[in-house]
Amino acid sequence: MAGYLVEDKRKVTTHRLIQMKQEGKKIAMLTSYDYTTAQIVDGAGMDVILVGDSASNVMAGNVTTLPITLDQMIYHAKAVVRATQRALVVCDMPFGTYQVNPTEGVTNAIRIMKESHCDALKLEGGVEIIDTVRKILDAGIPIMGHLGLTPQSINKFGTYSVRAKEEAEAEKLISDAHALEDAGCFGIVLEKIPAKLAERVTKELTIPTVGIGAGGACDGQVLVIADMLGMTKGFSPKFLRRYAELGTVMTDAIGHYIQDVKNCDFPNENEQY
């Protein structure tokens, strides 16, 4: 395993993220769902690892994030926590585990914290879930909000296109962001909203914003690891920068292995006992 790529090896805390905003230092956040990948991501110096419910798409092949269960999220979060020394590990609360009422929300939040040992939770939504957010925060659990395109509501939106382009939705997003900050959230993910709106929210809040398709003014950025490493096919939104073409690298390597096996080139004399 390669050594850490950052000099500051102290465990990242929610307080440090707020401090980073104050100091104008950008926050790097990336998803991970398993031990081996999280070890690499943490070792590279990531500030925040998100055990996103995008695991539903990336790991399980579901069309949406809705089917993933509490048990499955805990399984992924446990593996990521085991691999992580430095990054703050944030776990998504899956669809249906916090929308019913605050009591159920806090019960499920406590279960994730107790069983996975992650550092914080992320919930999608604004004022509609604010009582639940407060109750979870009251239990001593740090929360990251998530506004804009909230994939758990895809059946309501009907499309993954840019949110809050119209004034009314933009104004609601701004008041939701303030409500989450006032309740005590330590940060907010802003997904797929106009850059100007994200800039305004970022300026108005004292807690950091982490954007995905929300422009460069956010205090940090988050991407889904399989997308930015070029492992996913047929997904190329404007905001996505592909830092590698691992899908091609893997296909070449696997094809090479198949050939070697078929041609009796693998294993050779040095690769056997």
Q: Looking at 7, 171, 191, 245, which residue is catalytic? A: 191
Closer CB to ligand KIV, 14 or 31, in the complex: 31
125 binds ligand KIV (CB under 6 A): no
Q: Taking CB under 6 A as the rule, does residue 52 contact ligand KIV?
A: yes
Which of 32, 37, 54, 84 is the binder for ligand KIV (CB under 6 A)? Answer: 54
Q: Are 143 and 133 in contact (CB under 8 A)?
A: yes
Q: Does 93 bind ligand KIV (CB under 6 A)?
A: no
For 52-87, list the strands marked E by DSSP.
none
Neighbours of 211 (CB within 10 A): 27
Note whether 55 and 79 are within 8 A (CB): no
Q: Does 12 bind ligand KIV (CB under 6 A)?
A: no
Residue 222 has φ and ψ, to the nearest 5°, of -135, 140
What b/e readout covers 87-116, taking b as 16+ CB neighbours within 10 angstroms? bbbbbbbbbebbbeebeebbebbeebbeeb
Which residue from 30, 164, 188, 189 is in contact with ligand KIV, where contact means CB under 6 A? 189
Would you call 191 a catalytic residue per the annotation?
yes
Residues 214-273 that bind ligand KIV (CB under 6 A): 222, 224
Residue 187 forms beta bridges with which residues? 144
Our finding on whether 42 is near ligand KIV (CB under 6 A) is: no
* Residues at the interface with ligand KIV (CB under 6 A): 31, 50, 52-54, 92, 189, 191, 212, 222, 224
Which are the catalytic amino acids? 191
